Amino acid sequence: GAVVSQHPSWVICKSGTSVKIECRSLDFQATTMFWYRQFPKQSLMLMATSNEGSKATYEQGVEKDKFLINHASLTLSTLTVTSAHPEDSSFYICSAGTKHSYEQYFGPGTRLTVT
């Protein structure tokens, strides 16, 4: 199956700094990438949908100025958590898909801890 990678797999940062998380589709071109957030023992909450070359569509309640998403190419999307605070600590998971497929392929996730 298709492979999606995320980098880094875990990161610890200080409050007030920014953190960038990368999501790459390794062996296919992803027209759409999705960013999810997952709290411990909870479900995945969709944060935003990103289409290559256009602005991301954010879900209600997600601050677009805090969670910056860039989908610069068909194989790379980035999520930048700006001015991170401890409440931003979470597991961030991306997925990638195409318009012509019902499947989404998930990355392994990035554990963010803000101290």
65 Cβ contact list (under 8 Å, min separation 6): 82
Return the residue of 69, 93, 112, 114 that touches other proteins, per CB under 8 A. 93
CB of 68 to other proteins, least distance (A): 19
Contact stretch for other proteins (CB under 8 A) within 12-20, 40-48, 65-73, 78-86: 40-48
Please state the φ and ψ torsions of residue 86, each to the nearest 5 degrees.
-55, -30
Contact stretch for other proteins (CB under 8 A) within 12-20, 62-70, 76-84, 107-115: 107-115
DSSP annotation of 96 reads E
CB 94 within 8 A of CB 4: yes
Query: Three-state DSSP class for 86?
Result: helix
CB of 83 to other proteins, least distance (A): 26
Residue 74 as a binder of other proteins (CB under 8 A): the answer is no
Integer angstrom CA distances of residue 64 from 1, 60, 102: 32, 10, 27
Residue 27 as a binder of other proteins (CB under 8 A): the answer is no
108 is written with which tokens? 């392994």
Could you list the residues that contact other proteins (CB under 8 A)?
Answer: 1, 4, 6, 31-32, 34, 41-44, 46, 49, 93, 95, 97-109, 111
